Amino acid sequence: MFMRMQENFSGCRVLSYCIMSNHFHILLEVTPMAETGLSDENLLKRLSSLYSKAFVAGVAKELAEARKAAKDVTGSQMSAAEIHARYTYRMHQLSEFMKGLLIRFTRWFNRTHLRTGTLWEERFKSVIVESGVAARTMAAYIDLNPVRAGIVKDPAEYRWSSYGEAVGGGAKGNGKKAREGLVRAYYCDQGVGFESEKWQDVSRLYRRHMGMALERKPDQSELLGKATKQNSNNLITMNTVEMLEKKDNETVLNPKSEVR
């Protein structure tokens, strides 16, 4: 919840995520602020992601007064640009996204568990991920965390991850945000944006991509090993594209949960 709130406020987009018992991973696209900035309407909409209706109404009143003062050339009020700057400096910034997320989660956790003090041991670590294969691979790595940890056998069974949310539908029953993120992660090098309608195609490809990231089926590995020992030249293995397109992709993840 806090992650989506911060996403809606900041303008950054979560492509993939996984929340584990003592850490979490996020693949985040830090989008640029529009050259024209935000309209008053868009600023208020973003503020509503984090703040109460009363607070947003107060900012709306400030903006209306500032616009009126500018029109009347009175110069006695804070300018609308100054009001915008009070909040926009926290938008479209990785450090501000993480700072806001960690602070809000810590406050909630401390209040829920009747404790005080810091919660995170170290500052968050970040790496730059380029679009294309790197983005798809990192997204899959993140969604496969609970499988590698032995918590579930299938990433679709883990509720607190982008793939689990996309397949399961999320809290509101559609998983649209998660699907948009994974579509973007998978096709970002092909000019595709956050288009949830492409989820049917991506769900099949992404699941098989995760399967290949885990390993091939044991029987296929055994067969390959025997053929190597016999120096056989008759065995033809599939490349990545062929494995993605084949119905049985020879990975440990079967296609049962590709599309829902």
Tens digits of residue pLDDT in 42-80? 999 999 999 999 999 999 999 999 888 877 665 555 789
Query: What per-residue confidence (pLDDT) applies to 149?
Result: 92
pTM: 0.78
Q: Which of 103, 109, 96 is nearest to 46 (CA)?
A: 96
- What is the tens place of the pLDDT at every residue in 171-183? 666 788 999 999 9
Rg value, the chain, Cα = 23
The rounded distance, in Å, linking the Cα atoms of 71 and 65 is 10
- What is the tens place of the pLDDT at every residue in 76-122? 557 899 999 999 999 999 999 999 999 988 898 899 999 988 888 77
Domain ranges of the chain: 2-13+22-112, 133-257
Predicted confidence (pLDDT) at residue 232 exceeds the cutoff of 80: no
29 by DSSP, 3-state: which? strand
Q: 128 versus 224: which is more confidently predicted? A: 128
Predicted confidence (pLDDT) at residue 213 exceeds the cutoff of 90: no
Predicted confidence (pLDDT) at residue 147 exceeds the cutoff of 50: yes
